[in-house]
Amino acid sequence: MKTQGEIHQIITQELSKIDWSIKPEKLYHPIDYILSMGGKHLRPSLTLMACNIFSEDITPAIKPAIGIEIFHNFTLLHDDIMDKADARRGKPTVHKKWDENVAILSGDAMLIKAYQYISTCPEKKLSKILEVFSKTAIEVCEGQQFDMDFETQNLVTEEMYLNMIRLKTAVLLGASLKIGAIIGGANQHEANCLYDFGINIGIAFQLKDDLLDVYGNPKDFGKTIGGDITCNKKTFLMIRAINKANEQEKEELEKWLNINSPEKNSEKIKVITKLYSDLKVDIDCKKIMTEYKQKAISNLKEMEISGRKTTLLQSVAEFLMDRNK
């Protein structure tokens, strides 16, 4: 079986082979720019890991894995426009480096390229894989729309939020694993177990992101700390804080949620972060994360295959919980 380092190297090498130096430059250069930012390459890694559980030969899964990475970065590119984000992985976002029109069109091209790469999978498995990928792609869009809807909704429950991050983040991790498993020769039960594993670590992964946005180190995180607070994003931390706060704390929270002046951002982050800590919502978030991680490990055990073959996925789950970026 391949090591995590070997899998990461395969993905990096494959991405470096793609020639984006074609015209029109303003269409393809931004794609090269966002793909060359680095990142964890988590989703394509999961595809190759899942394939490797069932097959020594992971070659048929490499290009589909790259397609998944291109699709993921397409979603980031468009999300950054909608979120008005200035930085991604410590660098200016595409719409800041060029402009919004360039970013939109380059993102559209990335979506098409993603389908082209995924369609290189073995022909006998193409129909099933496209079914999984297309379902996932529309669910990611649904999740993004829910996320935007929440910005103007007064009532957002924890259940609604967890469903939104399942769609926006977790389904793509689940699909990455399921596609790799199908290519590797897994049966339906095994492929579904890996999909569920991806869903559960995906939800935990996003909860960790919520924590890092407030409590992370900006040098490690690659994004401005407190961004979710300044734009009043209804994260798990915010929703739980509203639910736990007493009347005085709610008044303080509401006051700062109604302040949208950039010069007040620093103070707003400081006050709301203190409220989070006083209400121990960061501890609550870590507890929920742990519960989802445990569910994910149970999903692996349901496959009833050698534990040695799933060790790498278990280590990925641990890494996602312990990461600082």
CATH 1.20.950.20 assigned to domain 4-322? The reply is no
**pLDDT tens column, 239-279:** 999 999 999 999 999 999 999 888 999 999 999 999 999 99
Indicate if the pLDDT at residue 138 is higher than 70.
Answer: yes
Task: State the pLDDT at residue 65.
Answer: 98
Compute the average pLDDT of residues 145-154. 91
Q: What are phi and psi of 87, to 5 degrees?
A: -135, 150
Given a contact cutoff of 8 angstroms between Cβ atoms, the answer to whether 253 and 242 are in contact is yes
3-state secondary structure at position 176: helix
**pLDDT tens column, 26-56:** 999 999 999 999 888 999 999 999 999 999 9
pLDDT band, very low/low/confident/very high, at 88 (cuts 50, 70, 90) = confident
- Amino acid (1-letter code) at residue 323: R
Query: What are the residues whose beta carbons fall under 8 Å from the beta carbon of 160, sequence distance 6 or more?
Result: 146, 150
Task: State the pLDDT at residue 319.
Answer: 86
Cα 120 from chain centre:
24
Task: State the pLDDT at residue 325.
Answer: 65
Domain boundaries, the chain: 4-322
Task: State the pLDDT at residue 223.
Answer: 64
Query: What are the residues whose beta carbons fall under 8 Å from the beta carbon of 249, sequence distance 6 or more?
Result: 241, 275, 278, 279
**pLDDT tens column, 53-87:** 999 999 999 999 999 999 999 999 999 999 888 88
Task: State the pLDDT at residue 198.
Answer: 97
Compute the average pLDDT of residues 220-237. 83
Predicted model pTM: 0.93
pLDDT band, very low/low/confident/very high, at 222 (cuts 50, 70, 90) = low
